[in-house]
Chain A
Amino acid sequence: MSNLEDDLDLDALLSTNHRALLLQVLSTLTGVNVELVEHADEASSPLVFNLETLAWLKAELPEAHRQAAVQLFELIMFYAGKYHLAANLHLDVTETSYIELQKQHVALQESKMRYKKLSEKLQERIDEQVKVIERAQRQLYEDARLRAIGQLAAGVAHEINTPVGYIGSNLRVASDYLRDIATNLDDGNNLETVLEDFRELLDESRSGVQRIANIVSDLRIFANIDQAEFANCELNVLLKTACHLLQAEHYQKLAIVQHLNELPKLDCYPAKLSQAFYNVLDNAAKAIGDDGVIHVESRLCGDVIEVVIGDDGCGMSQDTMARVFDPFFTTRSIGMGTGLGLSVVRDIISVHQGEIRLKSHPGQGTRVTLLFKVS
């Protein structure tokens, strides 16, 4: 490191001006001419700094006097040298520190870039994970829907089974009666009772067939088989269907009281709204247990359709209410609820620019109000 060079020359130690001034002072003091020369002669003595002879001081003086002048000159050079060496070292250390700081700065910048990239990567991975979770959520909901449809199918099968059972048995008996009629026609016996019974059988069978037809019709409405995805339809019809299907699933044992007032038709997604009504009704059915009552009410208030589904079941605490719309939040044991029911209801209602209101207290039942604006 060149700055640490400690062999300073005369110019570095004392400027020309100061040198001239010093020589002038010495000349005045000694009364003879004092000067610096580059080569020794008999009237000169060496000027030494750090063992290095820098010049010769020439003066026609007795040896002792010239030596005193040299000592004074050397003393001044010594102190000048101290300053210069310290300054050089300081400069050197400062430069080195600055270079190191710059290196550290570059390293910091690089590390900052690395972290930035890392954070971007992390964000990407979070986004991916969110997509995965959303896919899983939809998958779960699909599964839940399939399971619900399975339960529905079981209810429907049970419902259809009864009328089909007695229709089949009636038709068998009817065949027997026909055979009896055929034989008895000959001997003129009294056929009054047989014919009476036969008529009853046929009436009952017709009513059974009607019941089957109704169930199938309900299913068609619920599954939106006949209608366009987006249609102008009667909410009361959807409500009734949902009630029927719920009853079918609960073996007709639920107490459902309906007060359905006349409503204007609403532009809506019927299958989705049916699903929403069914989900709310299903919650009510689960809340009341065996001996509660579900009230279903619809009415028009101004240009708003109000659908109220209330129950006198177990109700909810404030904490539960705060979370019921969160996906996957459920108070039911594992396998009994997906925790998606009300979050799906909320999604469906928001698609219809509707509003959902919830009122509940533990032990006092729950009241769900769905509001739809008629355009």
Chain B
Amino acid sequence: MSEYKKNANKLIIKVVYYGPALSGKTTNLAQLYAQLRPQRKGELMVLESGDDRTLFFDMLPIGLRSNDGLDLRVKIYTVPGQIKHDSTRKALLSRVDGVVFVADSQIDQQDNNAVAFSDLADNLTKVGLDIERLPLTVQFNKRDHQDAMEKATLHEKWAETPWTPLTFASALRGEGVVESFRQLLARLYPVVNEEFNLSTRHALDSQEFVRQLSAVEEARHE
């Protein structure tokens, strides 16, 4: 649940990168950290174990200040993908506003994708959220792999879901990461706007919301 602190005129939105183990969630976040030039960007916090697997989570705070002084922040988290960290994943989904599901494009990973997706749906239910109504972007990562599933096949598979069109990425090469994030921001905006009147009260429309939070060239500081 996005959180508005009235006294500080501060709005905090929580985004979680979810997906099976080793699908590239942390790499996505590292690329966002490297590529994004939003108005405000904090430090990338990585809490991994000794073998470079996410142990608790990664977190990157970004933000913008609207002309009327609204302090809008997006906290982007990743979850640990290994099955054994289910409780941690569930805890991190608490009060989430949007999810990027990072799937693995390799043919032999499709079962893991399905398991992780249904695990996402279950955990959302447990924290009182409905996957059908939550802003959600599905990214098929690792497009650079030789045995990646055909895009057409994937599109066809997901055609009947609310999450089409899919996004595609090669996070290691930095491709498609920002595009996935932008799609999620665009899907997030209407929900946040409905609750906090971003457009009328803060003169912040969808385009500006997405542009400011996902700018890749040097942001123009006011």
Query: Which chain B residues lie closer than 8 Å to A50 at the CB level?
Result: 42-43, 45, 59, 61, 75
Alpha-carbon separation in the docked complex, A6 to B14 (Å): 11
14 A-B residue pairs with CB within 8 Å: A1-B95, A4-B95, A6-B59, A48-B42, A49-B42, A82-B45, A85-B45, A85-B47, A85-B59, A86-B55, A89-B57, A93-B87, A96-B90, A96-B91
Q: Shortest Cβ distance from B81 into chain A, in angstroms?
A: 16
Is B87 in contact with A97, judged by CB distance below 8 angstroms? yes
> Which of A81, A89, A96 interacts with B56 by CB under 8 Å?
A89
Of A4, A49, A86, A93, the contact of B47 (CB 8 Å cutoff): A86
Q: Per-position contact with B for A1-25: 1 when CB-CB < 8 Å, else 0?
A: 1001010000000000000000000
A1 touches B47 (CB 8 A): no
Evaluate contact between A93 and B75: CB separation under 8 angstroms: no
B63 at the interface (CB under 8 A from A): yes
Beta-carbon nearest neighbor of B43 in chain A: A78
A282 at the interface (CB under 8 A from B): no
B35-57 contacts to A, CB under 8 A, are: 40, 42-43, 45, 47, 55-57
16 other contacts beyond A4-B95, A50-B42, A93-B88, with CB at 8 A cut-off? A1-B94, A4-B91, A4-B92, A4-B94, A6-B59, A6-B75, A49-B42, A50-B75, A51-B42, A51-B63, A51-B73, A78-B43, A86-B47, A89-B91, A96-B87, A97-B87
Which residues in B have their C-beta under 8 angstroms from that of A93? 87-88, 91
Question: Which residue on A lies nearest to B85, using beta carbons?
Answer: A93
Q: Chain A residues with Cβ under 8 A from B40's Cβ?
A: 51
Digit string of A74-93 for contact with B (CB within 8 Å is 1, else 0)?
00001001100110011011
- Report the Cα distance A51→B62, complex, angstroms: 7
User: A residues touching B (Cβ–Cβ < 8 Å)?
Assistant: 1, 4, 6, 48-51, 78, 81-82, 85-86, 89-90, 92-93, 96-97
Contacts of B47 in A (CB 8 A): 82, 85-86
**Provided the pairs A4-B91, A96-B91 are in contact, do residues A85 and B75 lie with their beta carbons within 8 angstroms?**
no
Q: How far is the CB of A99 from chain B (nearest CB, A)?
A: 11
Specify which chain B residues have a CB less than 8 angstroms from the CB of A1 in the assembled complex. 91, 94-95
Bound-state Cα–Cα, A151 to B159, Å: 88
Complex CA gap A305/B61 in Å reads 105
Q: Mark B170-199, 1 if CB is under 8 A from A, else 0.
A: 000000000000000000000000000000
B60-76, CB under 8 A of A: which get 1 and which 0?
Answer: 01110000000001010
Give the number of A-B contacts (CB < 8 Å).
Answer: 49
Residue of A1, A50, A51, A90 contacting most chain B CB atoms (<10 Å)? A51
Q: A4-B91, A86-B56 are in contact. Are A81 and B45 (CB under 8 A)?
A: yes
Cα separation A90 to B62 with both chains bound (whole Å): 24
Given the complex of chains A and B, what is the CA–CA distance between A90 and B57 in angstroms? 11
Q: Which 9 pairs from chain A and chain B are nearest by CB? A: A93-B87, A86-B56, A51-B42, A50-B61, A51-B61, A50-B42, A1-B94, A86-B47, A93-B91
Nearest chain A CB to B181's CB is how many angstroms away?
17
Contacts of B94 in A (CB 8 A): 1, 4
Docked pose: A1 CA to B90 CA in angstroms: 11
Question: B55 contacts which chain A residues (CB < 8 A)?
Answer: 86
- B152 → chain A, closest Cβ, in Å? 40
A50 to B43, CA, bound (A): 7
Which residues of the other chain, A, contact B73 by a CB distance below 8 angstroms? 51
Contacts of B87 in A (CB 8 A): 93, 96-97
Least CB distance from B33 to A in Å reads 13
Q: Which chain B residues lie closer than 8 Å to A85 at the CB level?
A: 45, 47, 56, 59
- For residue B63, which residues in chain A have a CB less than 8 angstroms away from its CB? 51
Interfacial chain B residues near A49, Cβ < 8 Å:
42
A4-B90 Cα distance, complex, nearest whole Å = 12
Kindly report which residue of chain B lies nearest to residue A93, judged by CB atoms: B87
With A and B bound together, what is the CA distance between A141 and B95 in angstroms?
77
Closest to A87 in B: B56
A81 closest partner in B (C-beta): B45
B residues less than 8 Å from A89 (CB atoms): 56-57, 88, 91-92
Residues of A within 8 A of B57 (CB): 89
Tell me the complex Cα distance, A86–B57, Å: 8
Residues of A close to B88: CB separation below 8 A:
89, 93
B74 and chain A: residue at smallest CB distance: A51
Contacts of B42 in A (CB 8 A): 48-51
Closest to A97 in B: B87
Cα A90 to Cα B87 in complex, Å, equals 10
Please name the residue on chain B nearest to A90 by beta carbon: B56
**A-chain residues with CB within 8 Å of residue B45 when the two chains form the complex:** 50, 78, 81-82, 85
**A49 vs B45: C-alpha distance when bound (angstroms):** 11
- A240 CA / B88 CA spacing, docked (Å): 92
